[in-house]
Amino acid sequence: MSLKRVGVFGGTFDPPHLGHLILAEEIREAFGLAEMYFMPCNEPPHKDRDDLTDAKHRFAMVVAATLHNPAFVASPIEVNRGGKSFSIDTVRQLQEAMGTDMQIVFVTGLDAFVEIETWNEYREFLDLCHVVVVSRPGHGFDEIAKLPEWIGDRVVDLRDSDAPPSEQFPDEGRRVFLSDAVHIDISSTDVRERIAAGSSVRYKVPAEVERYIRANGLFRSGDVPREVAS
Ligand code: ATP
Ligand code: MG
């Protein structure tokens, strides 16, 4: 049986927006991924917001956002597992479910990857999956040089290369790919603020996501979002 690769794209997705979808499709195509799993976290490991929207709403919005791309999958793994969402647990769980004919390509931003030494079981994580590190405004790929040498040895800098990413997977082991993938100037923070201010989010989030936000009264200032019936 031939080897298949699937992408894992994690985030809080509060809410998912066009920047997420454009990036995911670009990476999926460039790396020849059979599917891209959108993985809304239950609780981020480094909790930085106390106003995070209920995980069930965030998952439902990811379902809405990914509806029209047959290669996009909304994965409830982290939401269903509960607690803090550690990437190693997710990758292990997926790998076990999918078997050894499938490799995982984990997509993450440079801002998160430079902190890789603080991730749970990061050595095991880097042995289990390939990682695509995408640029983030305000961060430079030179920050990678501060990481331990053994991580640097696994780096494939796609910016130096003319060969397509999909042809750069090794026969053995896992790699860390540095990618200058597109970054559209949209953030979930901006979408939340626009909704709170009563401004338009048209063309920033898919129409289905906007409908969900409005139907459930999410992100309205001074309002408590409605509970999801469970
Ligand atoms: P927030 O404003 O709440 O921090 P966000 O827009 O950064 O939200 P996240 O859910 O944190 O969205 O994003 C998950 C991942 O998606 C990020 O780690 C990043 O790699 C990527 N990402 C976010 N926004 C964009 C964008 N506009 N273009 C490309 N990639 C993005
Ligand atoms: Mg963010």
Calculate the average pLDDT of the chain. Answer: 94
Taking 80 as the threshold, does the pLDDT of residue 26 lie above it? yes
The residues that bridge with 137 in the sheet, in sequence order, are none
pLDDT at 160: 87
Taking 80 as the threshold, does the pLDDT of residue 78 lie above it? yes
Q: Express as a percent the part of the chain with pLDDT over 90.
A: 89
Could you tell which of 48, 187, 209 is best to mutate to test the pocket of ligand 1, judged by most ligand atoms within 8 Å of the CB? 187
Domains and CATH numbers, the chain: 4-216 (3.40.50.620)
3-state DSSP assignment of residue 117: helix
Cβ neighbours, 10 Å, residue 132? 27
pLDDT at 228: 59
3-state DSSP assignment of residue 12: coil
Confidence of residue 3 (pLDDT cuts 50, 70, 90): confident
Q: What residues flank ligand 1, with Cβ below 6 Å?
A: 11-14, 19-20, 23, 109, 112, 134, 183-184, 186-189
How far, in Å, from the CA of 71 to the mean position of ligand 2? 23
- Rounded to an integer, the average pLDDT of 56-60 is 98
Buried b (16+ CB within 10 A) or exposed e, 62-88: bbbbbeeeeebbbbebbbeeeeebbbb
The answer to whether 61 and 212 have CB atoms below 8 angstroms apart is yes
Cα–Cα distance for residue pair 130/49, rounded to 1 Å = 29
**Ligand 1 atom with minimal separation from the 17 CA:** 6
In the numeric block, the tokens 């640029």 are attached to 135
Could you tell which of 20, 62, 66 is best to mutate to test the pocket of ligand 1, judged by most ligand atoms within 8 Å of the CB? 20
Confidence of residue 227 (pLDDT cuts 50, 70, 90): low
88-139 pLDDT, tens digit per residue, is 999 999 999 999 999 999 999 999 999 999 999 999 999 999 999 999 988 9
- Rounded to an integer, the average pLDDT of 200-216 is 98
Cβ neighbours, 10 Å, residue 133? 26
Confidence of residue 46 (pLDDT cuts 50, 70, 90): confident
Amino acid identity, residue 40?
A: P
Among 73-82, 102-111, 219-228, whose mean pLDDT is lowest?
Answer: 219-228
pLDDT at 5: 98
- Rounded to an integer, the average pLDDT of 49-74 is 97
How far, in Å, from the CA of 93 to the mean position of ligand 2? 24
3-state DSSP assignment of residue 112: helix
